[in-house]
Amino acid sequence: MQPKYIVGAIVLLFGATAPFIISTYELSLLGRFLALSILAMGIMLTWGEAGILSLGQGVFFGLGGYCLALHLKLEGLNLANGDMPDFMVWSGVSALPAFWYPFANPFFSLACVVIVPGFFAAAFSWLVFRRRVGGVYFALITQALALAFSTLLISQQAYTGGFNGLTDYSTMFGLSITTTGAAEVIYWVTFVLVVAVYFFLRWLLSSRYGMMLRATRDGENRVRFLGHDPVPYKVVAFSIAGMLAGIGGALFTLHAGVVSPALVGVVPSIEMVVWVAVGGRNILWGAIAGTLLVNFAKDQISSALPSLWLYGLGALFIIAVSFLPSGIAGMFRPGSGEERIVRQFLSRRKLSSAE
């Protein structure tokens, strides 16, 4: 058996048994970071395979999170008697807004977690890509989109919870989601979805669609010259990434117990790109590894040195882009530049020790 399969089996075994071998707090952290890795795999699809750099994935992450949080805030309320979420009462709202009512149904809410971000991503990308906007201009547009979305959420305090977001929910499907047993169930759901998304994207990228997507990335004009329209391929990739971000946002909301504008703005959206850059934007498992490594480092460093974390994150991104263009995962890919650097470093150490 090849080493990569052995390592993969070990990782899967650890993921499946994590609830039994780590503390509840550590399990909560791991669950959050695995939820974020679903979003990161979507960024890998668009940035690494399609050449589309989006600095606004926080928008779709937030849409998924808010779609689920709307239901969680309504869970247990008697809408027929005019009950409303607590923050609406404090804001002086007289009646529950009409757009909140459908989210009282959990199945509607779960469907919206995927459909709303996917539809919004499809509509937005189609409008942009059909005008042949790409590169840095597309990145700036998505960054502006993230800023506008977070500003909208903050300004609508009475309907979205404002800067504090939506929090303080404890049940789903009538069952508590705050117990240790519920946390383990949510973790397993997250873990299974991460594995499912990983194998789905592996299949997708090995298909004819994946080959056309890479061809579009490497030479969009050549693809047009050969009679193919690259726009649908790019729209599908961006839509899938949007749906994955929505799923990640909903799962993160369950794990963290909160969704707020602070999680969906410009800075979080840029951080998401850093995760993939560090892990490896052309390697699927690298996106997962980068997300876990950077976020665990953030958790440890920001608690000890909160004022220095952003500087460290910026330095990490510069190092990754300058010296590890294929990320950490590139060091394990045979023939890559990173792998050659590691070999040269190890050979020099052997020579120096021999001397």
What are the sequence ranges of the domains in the chain?
A: 29-311, 324-355
Please answer whether residues 248 and 65 qualify as being in contact, where contact means their C-beta atoms are separated by less than 8 angstroms. Answer: no
Model pLDDT, residue 108: 96
Cα separation, 284 vs 44, in Å, equals 7
Cα separation, 222 vs 215, in Å, equals 8
Model pLDDT, residue 345: 44
Model pLDDT, residue 173: 85
Model pLDDT, residue 337: 52
Which H or E run includes 237? helix 230-256
How does pLDDT run along the chain (355 residues), one tens digit per residue? Answer: 566 677 778 888 888 889 999 998 899 999 999 999 999 999 999 999 999 999 999 999 999 999 999 999 998 788 878 888 888 888 888 888 889 999 999 999 999 999 999 999 999 999 999 998 888 999 999 999 999 999 999 999 989 999 999 998 888 888 888 888 889 999 999 999 999 999 999 999 999 999 999 999 998 889 999 889 999 999 999 999 999 999 999 999 999 999 999 999 999 999 999 999 999 888 999 999 999 999 998 888 877 777 777 787 788 778 877 877 778 887 776 655 555 554 544 455 554 554 5
Cα separation, 253 vs 271, in Å, equals 18
Q: Where are the beta strands (DSSP E) in the chain?
A: 166-167, 171-172, 175-176, 258-259
**Torsion-angle region of 127 (φ positive above 0: left; ψ -120 to 50: alpha; else: beta):** alpha
Model pLDDT, residue 2: 60
Please answer whether residues 143 and 53 qualify as being in contact, where contact means their C-beta atoms are separated by less than 8 angstroms. Answer: no
Model pLDDT, residue 177: 85
Nearest CA among 268, 274, 269, 273 for reference residue 319: 274
Model pLDDT, residue 346: 46
Residue 172: C-alpha distances to residues 17, 25, 31, 79, 110 (Å): 25, 21, 18, 16, 11
Q: Using alpha carbons only, give the angle 171, 167, 114 rounded to the nearest 5 degrees.
A: 75
Structure tokens at 234: 């790019």
Model pLDDT, residue 268: 93
- Strand 171-172 relative to strand 166-167, pairing: unpaired
